[in-house]
Amino acid sequence: MSNSTLNPLTLTFGNAELEKKFLESYHGRAVVRFRWAMALAIFLYSMFAVLDSVSVGPLWPWIWFIRFAIVNPILIVCLLLSFQKRFFIRYYQEIASLGILVGGGGILAMLALIPDPALYLYSQGLMLILIYNYTFLGLRFIRASLNCLLIIIGFEVVSLRINPLPRHVFINNNFFLISANLIGMGVAYYLEKLNRDNFLHGISLRKLAEVDSLTGLLNRGFFMDEVKRFLSRREKNGEAAAFCILDLDRFKEINDTLGHLVGDEILMNLGQVIARKMRSSDLIGRLGGDELGFFFPEVKNEIDILNIFIKLKTEFQTVSQGVEWPVTFSVGCVIFGPELRDLFQCYARADRALLRAKQSRNFLVMVDSEEKAILECRL
């Protein structure tokens, strides 16, 4: 796993692709939790309106306006956005932060209006915002810290300039807000790091379950399952696809003559060459022994497939120069359209094409879905 180290400050992976996958996974798992948390926030923000009529006197219509005309509608929009799953997962941090900043901003607006002694009570609402910010919503450490920094700056401005608090109350509130913020930062940092460590651990476990340990390619079970999944999802008017089986020529003789360690080295070399040369959209797996399976979901024409295996052979023979044996392979392919969706049929057609290719060795035989020969040539 290339460059999976974490930046100790921002807690981001050095590998951009890995970071993207983590965020997609993390946000995807947080959707349901976000909905419950946001629904609870809307409920609490509404329920605290009961205090307004007994705490702030004639100012309660203004406080209710903040609650019900500004804050709650925005929180409801955030909640509704969670049902637009793709959009929501992509912009999860921004949407959750909007909810926090709007909730905190609503309380700061109330603090700017309310006279004492009720003023002292409402500042405690910021503590609930901090709890939400650092725990319930699953915000990243850096994002949650920035949210709270903005809220605390807002509190300082309101409490010093707009509606000043008595000095002792101001100091007391700051002490608790800053202390809670520091504790929250520590909790958020720990939780995000734990989530990222678990993500890497999960990838490692999946890799063990999906990858052949010798070649580094997909193992048979996972390869076949992935091909089945691709076939089932193919569109009726989709492009042609190809299923190919590669078999090393006279591999048993190599093992019997030069030893199994040399045979394993050849397979490892082949796996490394394939990993370097193949496209990320292609599926390649070890079917067993010296047989490898290739699934190309998009094929322009038969020459495209031929060129792939010619380049593969050239590179493979370059890295196998130290082996005292001519190392070649044969390939059987079937090119088919959306009408063929059964993996067994694809496999059987490619396997029969491979048998014909192996009769000549170092050969490629390509057929269509009706098993009519498309291309037969030496590699």
Instruction: Return d(Cα 142, Cα 301) in angstroms, integer.
Output: 49
The H or E element that residue 375 is part of is: strand 373-378
Residues 6+ apart with CB under 8 A from 368: 334, 335, 336, 374
Structure tokens at 133: 């910010």
- pLDDT, average across residues 180-209: 86
Q: Does residue 295 register a pLDDT over 70?
A: yes
For the stretch 25-49, pLDDT in tens is 999 999 999 999 999 999 999 998 8
- pLDDT, average across residues 107-135: 88
- DSSP helix/strand/coil, 367: strand
Measured CA to CA in angstroms, residue 202 lies from 13, 16, 51, 334 at distances of 15, 18, 47, 35
Region of residue 371 (left: phi > 0; alpha: psi -120 to 50; beta: else)? left
The tally of CA atoms less than 13 A away on the side-chain side of residue 200 is 16
Q: Does residue 3 register a pLDDT over 60?
A: no
Instruction: Return d(Cα 130, Cα 144) in angstroms, integer.
Output: 9
DSSP state of 8: T
Q: What is the pLDDT of residue 236?
A: 66
Per cent of the chain over pLDDT 70 is: 96
355-358-361 Cα angle (round to 5):
165
Q: What is the pLDDT of residue 332?
A: 94
- pLDDT, average across residues 237-247: 86
CB 75 within 8 A of CB 99: yes
**Strands laid side by side in the 373-378 sheet:** 283-288, 291-299, 240-248, 329-336, 363-368, 373-378
What type of residue is 297? Answer: P
DSSP calls for 85-104: HHHHHHTHHHHHHHHHHHHH
Structure tokens at 345: 């049929």
Q: Does residue 23 register a pLDDT over 50?
A: yes
DSSP calls for 273-335: HHHHHS-TT-EEEEEETTEEEEEEEEES-HHHHHHHHHHHHHHHHHHTTTSSS---EEEEEEE
Q: Does residue 159 register a pLDDT over 80?
A: yes
Residues forming a β-bridge with 294: 244, 284
DSSP calls for 19-63: HHHHHHHHHHHHHHHHHHHHHHHHHHHHHTHHHHHHHSGGGHHHH
For the stretch 275-285, pLDDT in tens is 887 777 788 99
Structure tokens at 314: 């050239």
Q: Does residue 211 register a pLDDT over 90?
A: no
Interstrand relation of 240-248 and 329-336 (parallel, antiparallel or unpaired): antiparallel
For the stretch 337-367, pLDDT in tens is 888 888 899 999 999 999 999 998 889 999 9
Please give the CATH topology (third level) of the domain spanning 220-378. Answer: Alpha-Beta Plaits (3.30.70)
Q: What is the pLDDT of residue 43?
A: 94
CB 118 within 8 A of CB 110: no
Work out whether the CA dihedral 304, 310, 313, 318 comes out positive or negative. Answer: negative
Q: Does residue 1 register a pLDDT over 50?
A: no
Q: In the structure, what pLDDT confidence band is assigned to residue 208 with cuts at 50, 70 and 90?
A: low
Q: What is the mean pLDDT of the chain?
A: 88
Rg (CA), the chain: 31
Instruction: Return d(Cα 124, Cα 177) in angstroms, integer.
Output: 9
9-194-28 Cα angle (round to 5):
100
Instruction: Return d(Cα 156, Cα 30) in angstroms, integer.
Output: 32
Q: Is 319 exposed, middle or buried (0-12, 13-18, 19+ CB in 10 A)?
A: middle
Q: What is the pLDDT of residue 259?
A: 87
Domain boundaries defined on the chain:
16-208, 220-378
For the stretch 44-78, pLDDT in tens is 999 988 888 788 888 899 999 999 999 999 999 99
Instruction: Return d(Cα 353, Cα 334) in angstroms, integer.
Output: 8
The overall pTM is greater than 0.85? no
